């Protein structure tokens, strides 16, 4: 039996009239010759069940400038790379769901004298989603507000982080707990986000934002450019010394903490004269104010478009004509320089070069505004049975750090506690890493790498371990080889 036919028997079963029943997911598609299954990932090619995408192997080349070639090519003599420099990923590997059968590939290799095993499969994840970090101080929507695509809820706004807004997209309740349309839209949204495609999201009571991993967010049609240097109080602390002597008061407008320089501890340390400019909001500590305005798309993530509106009063006992007053946002995108007239009214004036230089420095210290997408999933259930006959031992080994988990070769963050709950940066995963099944659920690669002796102790499928060189030869035309992502740690000893 050819290797392709053997894999076909592993993933499906032949029926009458050349039909193959695909066992890759609970849908159990009956695929006629020349047709593909509902997920378009498996097809019936002349009575053999084949993957429509090749298996992906990642390799370190001896010469970084040398081209990578498929291992199965007849002209490959092993000079460019050997099996010890190859990692077979779960991308394109297929699955053996519900894993009453061993995983598609259980690969043996030796690295620095250590015999290792890598169990390679694709997991079908209903318990999965994406955590999206959007670098902006713009208000996208209230916490816990629904996030929608085409009118269907696909997630929610979660707690903001320092300089970033956070969204939680997907999850089992949206994939399978709502209407069929909600599940389909959620699945499609996750596929696009995890594939680093642009997705437009709308937030109830908030705004529209276009999110794409590695790209700047676009809020209500306007691209963001800067992530704030810090809150208003932090900006006052960072730049107080540089403002000294050039202005008499600085107000850094921020949705979180608005800073007022002369009141702030930084101003006091510099012996700045009290300026008598009292801003609206709730005073936290000297020079630090909460809730000076409502959240919005204006200055510092507030709804302010005219900073003079946040002045509650100007104390005539402390302020003086000619007082130099600067308003700025936490990104330096907005700034207004004023001088108090004889009636102590702030009058806009041309900003001195020395003051402009500090405002520009605020912008210089802002990092580029980007979107980050982390795929999060729980690798539980029967997926583990494809790895070992006693799944809890695998879970415990992963928790102890003895078994390394990767997704398409990318490192994962393992959440503490029970189960195998992981997160991976989609930009460190190979292209075309994600697929879906009509359940709906997301399909993603996952690999478990551990010493061979440990794999035996965990109750692994030792009779299914195949040397890596044989796996590469057997895959033949079903193999694609790409260069290892340089930012990812090599899963084996080197």
Q: pLDDT tens for residues 261-313?
A: 999 999 999 999 999 999 999 999 999 999 999 999 999 999 999 999 999 99
The DSSP H or E segment spanning 242 is helix 232-243
pLDDT at 77: 42
Looking at residues 136-157, what average pLDDT do you find?
Answer: 97
Asked if pLDDT for residue 9 goes beyond 70, the answer is: no
Global pTM reads 0.89
- CB 50, CB 12: distance < 8 Å: no
Q: Average per-residue pLDDT in the chain?
A: 91
**Residue 216's pLDDT band (cuts 50, 70, 90):** very high
Decide: residue 87, CB within 10 A, 0-12 exposed, 13-18 middle, 19+ buried: buried
Residue 16, both tokens: 């009458």
Decide: residue 244, CB within 10 A, 0-12 exposed, 13-18 middle, 19+ buried: middle
Cα separation, 355 vs 246, whole angstroms: 6
pLDDT at 75: 42
Lowest-pLDDT range of 2-16, 138-152, 296-310:
2-16
**Residue 6's pLDDT band (cuts 50, 70, 90):** low
Nearest to 413 by CA among 377, 383, 371: 377
Nearest to 259 by CA among 279, 232, 284: 232
How many helices (H) and strands (E) the chain has is answered by 9, 35
For residue range 48-96, list pLDDT tens digits in order. 888 788 899 999 765 445 454 444 444 444 434 567 789 999 999 888 7
- CB 42, CB 24: distance < 8 Å: yes
């Amino acid at each position: 039996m050819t290797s392709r036919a053997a894999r076909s028997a592993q993933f499906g079963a032949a029926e009458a009239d050349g039909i193959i029943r695909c066992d890759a997911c609970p849908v159990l598609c009956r695929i006629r010759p020349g047709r593909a299954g509902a997920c378009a990932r498996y097809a019936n090619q002349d009575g053999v069940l084949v993957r429509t995408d090749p298996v992906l192997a990642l390799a370190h080349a001896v010469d970084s400038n040398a081209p990578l070639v498929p291992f199965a090519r007849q002209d490959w003599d092993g000079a460019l790379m050997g099996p010890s420099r190859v990692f077979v990923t779960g991308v394109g590997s297929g699955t053996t769901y519900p894993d009453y059968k061993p995983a598609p590939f259980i690969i043996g290799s030796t690295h620095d004298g250590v015999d290792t095993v890598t169990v390679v499969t694709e997991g079908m994840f209903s318990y999965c989603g994406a955590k999206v970090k959007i670098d902006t101080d713009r208000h996208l929507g209230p916490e816990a507000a629904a996030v929608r695509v085409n009118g269907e809820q696909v997630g929610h706004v979660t707690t903001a982080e320092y300089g970033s807004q956070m969204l939680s997209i997907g999850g089992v309740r949206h994939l399978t707990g709502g209407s069929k349309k909600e599940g389909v839209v959620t699945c499609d949204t996750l596929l696009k986000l995890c594939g680093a495609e642009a997705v437009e999201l709308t937030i109830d009571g908030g705004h529209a934002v276009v999110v794409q991993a590695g790209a700047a967010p676009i809020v209500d049609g306007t691209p963001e450019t800067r992530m704030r240097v810090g809150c208003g109080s932090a900006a006052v602390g960072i730049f107080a010394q540089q403002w000294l002597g050039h202005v008499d008061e600085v107000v850094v407008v921020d949705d979180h903490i608005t800073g007022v320089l002369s009141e702030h501890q930084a101003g006091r340390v510099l012996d700045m004269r009290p300026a008598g400019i009292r801003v609206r909001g709730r005073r936290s500590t000297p020079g630090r104010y909460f809730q000076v305005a409502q959240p919005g798309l204006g200055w510092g993530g507030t709804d302010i478009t005219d900073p003079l509106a946040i002045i509650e009063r100007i104390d005539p006992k402390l302020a003086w004509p000619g007082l130099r007053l600067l308003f700025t946002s936490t990104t330096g995108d907005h700034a207004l320089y004023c001088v108090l007239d004889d009636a102590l009214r702030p009058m806009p004036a041309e900003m001195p070069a020395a003051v402009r230089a500090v405002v520009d420095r605020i912008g210089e210290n802002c990092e580029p505004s980007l979107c980050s997408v982390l795929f999060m999933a729980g690798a539980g259930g029967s997926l583990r049975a494809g790895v070992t006959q006693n799944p809890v031992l695998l879970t415990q080994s992963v928790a102890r750090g003895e078994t390394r988990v990767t997704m398409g070769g990318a490192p994962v963050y393992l959440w503490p506690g029970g189960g195998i709950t992981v997160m991976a940066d989609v930009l460190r995963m190979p292209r075309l890493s994600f697929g879906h099944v009509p359940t709906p659920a997301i399909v993603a690669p996952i690999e478990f790498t551990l010493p061979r002796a440990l794999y035996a102790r965990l109750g692994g499928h030792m009779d299914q371990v195949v040397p890596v060189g044989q796996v590469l030869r057997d895959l033949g035309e079903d193999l694609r080889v790409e260069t290892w992502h340089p930012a990812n740690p090599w899963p084996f000893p080197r």
